[in-house]
Every structure is written in C-alpha cells, then in structure tokens.
C-alpha cells in the first residue's frame, strides 16, 4: 500500500534523477549515427585536426531565424556539428550564432564579413513572398579568418568547416603543379578545378626547360589533355619526379571526336607510351556506352527547324565507381570520347585499383570512324561490360623503388570547361579528389562529397515498375494505419465485452 511518505520519496528520487540527467547532458554530448555513410559522425581526418589545435578557433555563424523547416534544419545540423567540434577539440572550437535580421547594424556586419543574403520563398497566409536569409559562417584564428558564405542544404558541411580550420592552421600550402607547354588547356580553362584546389593548395603552372624539370617544391603534378608531341627530355623529368616520391595525375586523350566533320581522330603525344611503361595502356579506340549523354541535332519539322536531343554513346555517363576516397559520393561523370584502359605487365608490388568502369552494356569502336548521329543503336552494339576508364596506382613506380602514386584517366577533357560553359560538379570533384588523394595524407578527400545524396530510381526500370513503386509508397502506409485501427478496435471491443460479462455482485 502506497503511503504518503513513499509517494514523497518517489517524487524526490525522480526529481534527483532528472537533475542528474540534465547535469550530465550539459557536460556530455553524443548521438548514434545509423546512416550508411556515417553522415553525422566526425571523420578521423577532422578529429586529428581538432586534436592538434593548440589555439582557440572562433566560429561566428550568421543564420536567420524563423525560416521554413527544410532550411531551418541547416541551422540545427550546423549547431550539432559545432557542438561535436567543440567536444572533439577539448573546447578549442568556440562558436556563437548571430541573427543578422535582428537589426541593420548586425546585418551590415555580416555582409562586411563576406556573408551575403540569399532570397528564399516563404508561404505566409496562403501568399508566397520572398525573404532575405543568411546561412553562412566566419571561422577565425587570431587575425586570420576564412568565410563560408553559404551553407547549402544537403552540402558537405564537415568538409567546408574542417578545410577552413586547416587552412587557418597551416603556415604554407602544399604546391600542386599543372603541366603546360604541350598543348594543355590554360589555367583559365580549369577555373573550377583551380578554385576548388586553391582552398588547400598553391596551384602553379609548370613548364619544362633545358635546365628545369618539375620544381622541388611541387608535391603533385597534373598532366591534363596535352595535344602536342612530348620530347624524351620531358619524359625523363617525369621519371625523375616519380623517383623522388612525386605524385602524378595523367588525364590523356588517345582519340578525339570532331563533330564538325563527324569523324574520329587519332591523338599521339608520346605521353601514352610513357604511361604504358608503368603498366597501364590507354587504348587507341573509342568507348561507347548505353548510358550516355545527348547531342542536339537540327531537324526540319514542317516549316520549323528544331534542335532535337539524340543519345550519343560516344559521350558515356560513368556511374559505376569503386569504393575509394577518390570516388566516394560521386554519382555520374560525363567522359566525352573516352578510351578504355588496359592493365598490362605490371609489377606485383604495385597496387592497381580501377576507380571507374563503364556499364554492363558498353563496347569499343576503332579508327577510322565516322559518327552517324542518327544511328539506331541496338543491344548487340554493346557486347562488352565493365571497361575501366580510370585507375589508381600505388607502389614503387620508378626504377629506384621509391613509393609513389599515380591516377590515370582515359580522357583528358572531362574536367576542362568549353569556352563560356561550366562543368558539372561530379566531373570537377573526380579530378580534384584525385589530386587530394595524391597530395593530402590527412583523409580530407573523403569529406568533399560527404552530404545528403539523392537516391534516384534507376532510369532502366520499366515505367510499369515505377508506377507500382509510386503507388506502394503512397498506399502501404495508409493500409498499415487502417490495419492498426482495426486491430486496436477489436482489442478494445474484446476488453469491453469481458468487462460487461463480469458479475460484480
């Protein structure tokens, strides 16, 4: 039997437990991450950087309040991330949240710090209006500061924040060279790549001369889409670079598609022969794939001339990637006029990892070649599968057995923007991730694409299957609720019948 004293004791104990839990929760912060890619857990690279902080880093987050739920979630996620950064750094990461919409002075300060407003659509009282919103942060260490102007919903927050902290803590950036002098694209044609790399690296053009090969302070060298013939002296410079542990990216064309005259053309520079000595052959033919991009064809339709998109298998869309830091998080990379790679006689001490492969319906076309854009492609045109188009090498790549790394692509144009155009982000990420993996040993490359990924239905699924999935997603939850309601009704009915049949005399 409950007495008044027992009730009071129980209440006091519950109150004491609640107070203790609140004290502990204020001191400790943890959460369980059940996502497949550990999206809400700090990476080892981040933890290493935070543990080595010996001076405080201040993060001022400029976030507007009263935002739509899907955008307000960015603020919540960023706050949770900062809490984990603070705990992992032993309190060396200090943060505060400021609402720039609070007054004009605060808004001006946010803009002076490089945080500009964005316009978002907000529905209020059945009316759609635009609202100025701030979603950015300033990371400061002493007099140095880095600006994250906009934290996009679903973006890789950890990468942005960790790279900002690392950039503030390093005194000198590692140097990455982009080879010039053999018909390679100028740095302005690699503007997107250079912008991404400049966060952590000092990107410089490298030109060989009679007295100078690869400068001693260059950690990684990138050879992208050369067109002119290389001389033996320059290949000797590359061997010397690898012999001292240098890292190399080679994105080369052995064939080229000329849509002006609808012909495939041969590209010989000599770089491909040097790559073959490392155990990788870039084949002298075109890869075709059923997963491909479109080209516009002008067609007469009545009185009008229309641009009609037509599938063009010579511009494959690569969607199959290995489980590797370079390809982590990538979904689709467009590789125009790419050639497959062949692994030839290679030293067993060298690790070879295919990074990207064609689909299960692919093939090759050899020179001479004429492009029939209007060709009706059949399944029999794609008898091959899983042809590698990018590989990573790791091991003793030079004669003196010094360990080094290389990444080789069978296409040199996938990250080069045509004049006046922008490349898609996955194309840029593939090249930048490669240079990251070669240059940075901290593991930050794994964070670049760590974010919310769209899980789209495979386009190869038939329309009837897509319709079935759509209706199952819509109807099954409703059906489960109805079944639960019926079961609950029957259970309550049985209890009621039992109570009514009981004699309480």
Is pLDDT above 70 for 444? Answer: no
pLDDT at residue 271, rounded to an integer: 96
For residues 371 and 228, membership in a common domain is answered with: yes
Residues contacting residue 307 through CB under 8 Å, at least 6 positions apart: 296, 297, 298, 299
Is pLDDT above 80 for 89? Answer: yes
pLDDT at residue 119, rounded to an integer: 84
For residues 394 and 303, membership in a common domain is answered with: yes
Last residue of a domain, one of 134, 168, 202: 168
Listing from the earlier edge strand, what are the strands of the sheet with 263-266?
255-258, 263-266, 369-370
How large is the C-alpha radius of gyration of the chain? 30
pLDDT at residue 184, rounded to an integer: 95
> Which CATH number covers residue 333?
3.40.50.880
Is pLDDT above 70 for 26? Answer: no
CA-closest candidate to residue 448, choices 111, 221, 193, 113 = 193
Total tally of structural domains belonging to the chain: 4
In this prediction, residues 110-138 reach a mean pLDDT of: 82
Crossing angle (nearest 10°) for helices 44-51 and 69-88: 50
Last residue of a domain, one of 121, 148, 168: 168
For residues 381 and 428, membership in a common domain is answered with: yes
In a domain, 456, yes or no: no
Residue 25: which pLDDT band, with cuts at 50, 70 and 90?
low
Give the CA diameter of the chain. Answer: 113
For residues 471 and 441, membership in a common domain is answered with: no
For residues 65 and 205, membership in a common domain is answered with: no
What is the 3-class SS of 125-138, one letter each residue? CCEEEEEEECEEEE
pLDDT at residue 242, rounded to an integer: 95
Residue 152: which pLDDT band, with cuts at 50, 70 and 90?
confident
Query: Percent of the chain having pLDDT more than 70?
Result: 87
In this prediction, residues 18-36 reach a mean pLDDT of: 66
In this prediction, residues 16-34 reach a mean pLDDT of: 68
pLDDT at residue 355, rounded to an integer: 96
Please report which helix (H) or strand (E) contains residue 18, including its range.
helix 4-27
Is pLDDT above 70 for 38? Answer: no
For residues 56 and 144, membership in a common domain is answered with: yes
In a domain, 453, yes or no: no
CA separation for the pair 199, 187 (Å, rounded):
16
For residues 148 and 80, membership in a common domain is answered with: yes
- Lowest mean pLDDT: which of 166-170, 321-325, 407-411, 413-417? 166-170
In a domain, 335, yes or no: yes
CA-closest candidate to residue 61, choices 123, 18, 129, 115 = 115
For residues 382 and 468, membership in a common domain is answered with: no
pLDDT at residue 13, rounded to an integer: 84
pLDDT at residue 358, rounded to an integer: 96
Is pLDDT above 70 for 144? Answer: yes
pLDDT at residue 442, rounded to an integer: 67
For residues 84 and 198, membership in a common domain is answered with: no
pLDDT at residue 218, rounded to an integer: 95
Pair 339, 365: CB distance under 8 Å: no
For residues 23 and 52, membership in a common domain is answered with: no
For residues 129 and 230, membership in a common domain is answered with: no
In this prediction, residues 253-257 reach a mean pLDDT of: 95
Is pLDDT above 70 for 32? Answer: no
Residue 414: which pLDDT band, with cuts at 50, 70 and 90?
very high
In a domain, 474, yes or no: yes
For residues 19 and 123, membership in a common domain is answered with: no
In a domain, 36, yes or no: no
Higher local confidence (pLDDT), 358 or 398: 358
Range of the domain at 489: 462-500
pLDDT at residue 27, rounded to an integer: 59
* Report for 6-20, 103-117, 466-480: range of highest mean pLDDT: 103-117
Q: What is the mean pLDDT of the chain?
A: 86
Last residue of a domain, one of 103, 136, 168: 168
pLDDT at residue 441, rounded to an integer: 67
CA separation for the pair 5, 127 (Å, rounded):
59
In this prediction, residues 281-294 reach a mean pLDDT of: 95
Residue 34: which pLDDT band, with cuts at 50, 70 and 90?
low
In a domain, 125, yes or no: yes
Is pLDDT above 90 for 221? Answer: yes
CA separation for the pair 251, 38 (Å, rounded):
32
pLDDT at residue 280, rounded to an integer: 94
pLDDT at residue 255, rounded to an integer: 95
**For tokens 């109805």, what's the residue?**
482
> Which CATH number covers residue 48?
3.40.30.10
In this prediction, residues 194-217 reach a mean pLDDT of: 92
Residue 368 tokens, joined:
């001479």
């Amino acid at each position: 039997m409950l007495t008044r004293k027992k009730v009071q004791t129980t209440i006091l104990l519950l109150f004491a437990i609640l107070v203790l839990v609140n004290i502990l929760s204020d001191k400790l912060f943890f959460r369980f991450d059940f996502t497949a890619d550990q999206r809400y857990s700090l990476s080892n690279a981040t933890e290493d950087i935070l543990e080595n902080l010996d001076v405080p880093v201040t993060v001022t987050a400029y976030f507007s309040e009263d935002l739509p739920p899907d955008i307000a979630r960015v603020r919540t996620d960023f706050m949770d991330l900062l809490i984990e950064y603070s705990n992992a750094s032993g309190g060396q990461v200090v943060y505060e949240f400021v609402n720039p919409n609070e007054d004009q002075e605060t808004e001006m300060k946010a803009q002076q710090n490089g945080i500009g407003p964005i316009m978002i659509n907000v529905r209020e009282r059945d009316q759609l209006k635009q609202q100025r919103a701030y979603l950015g942060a300033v990371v400061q260490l002493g007099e140095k500061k880095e600006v994250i102007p906009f934290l996009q919903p679903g973006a890789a927050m950890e990468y942005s924040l960790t790279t900002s902290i690392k950039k503030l803590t390093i005194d000198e950036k590692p140097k990455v060279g982009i080879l010039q002098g053999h018909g390679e694209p100028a740095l302005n044609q690699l503007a997107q790549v250079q912008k991404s790399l400049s966060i952590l690296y000092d990107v410089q053009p490298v030109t060989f001369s009679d007295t100078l090969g690869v400068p001693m302070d260059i950690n990684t060298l990138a050879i992208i889409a050369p067109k002119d013939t290389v001389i033996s002296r320059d290949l000797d410079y590359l061997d010397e670079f690898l012999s001292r542990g240098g890292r190399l990216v080679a994105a080369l064309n052995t064939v080229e598609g000329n849509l002006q005259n609808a012909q495939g053309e041969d590209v010989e520079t000599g770089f491909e022969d040097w790559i073959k000595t490392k155990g990788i052959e870039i084949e002298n033919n075109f890869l075709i794939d059923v997963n491909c991009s479109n080209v516009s064809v002008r067609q007469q339709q009545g009185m009008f001339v229309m641009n009609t998109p037509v599938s063009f298998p010579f511009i494959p869309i690569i969607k199959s990637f290995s489980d590797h830091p370079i390809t982590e998080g990538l979904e689709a990379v467009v590789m125009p006029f790419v050639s497959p790679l062949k692994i030839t006689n290679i030293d067993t001490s060298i690790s070879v990892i295919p990074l990207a492969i064609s689909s299960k319906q692919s093939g090759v076309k050899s020179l001479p070649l004429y492009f029939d854009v209007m060709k009706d492609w059949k399944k029999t045109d794609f008898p091959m599968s899983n042809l590698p188009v990018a590989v990573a090498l790791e091991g003793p790549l030079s004669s003196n057995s010094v360990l080094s790394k290389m990444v080789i692509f069978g296409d040199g144009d996938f990250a080069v923007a045509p004049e006046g155009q922008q490349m898609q982000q996955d194309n840029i990420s593939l090249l930048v991730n490669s240079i990251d993996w070669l240059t940075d040993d901290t593991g930050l490359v794994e964070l670049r694409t760590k974010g919310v990924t769209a899980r789209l239905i495979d386009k190869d699924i038939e329309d009837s299957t897509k319709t079935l999935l759509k209706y199952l997603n819509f109807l099954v939850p409703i059906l489960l609720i109805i079944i639960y309601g019926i079961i609950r009704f029957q259970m309550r009915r049985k209890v009621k019948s039992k109570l009514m049949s009981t004699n309480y005399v």
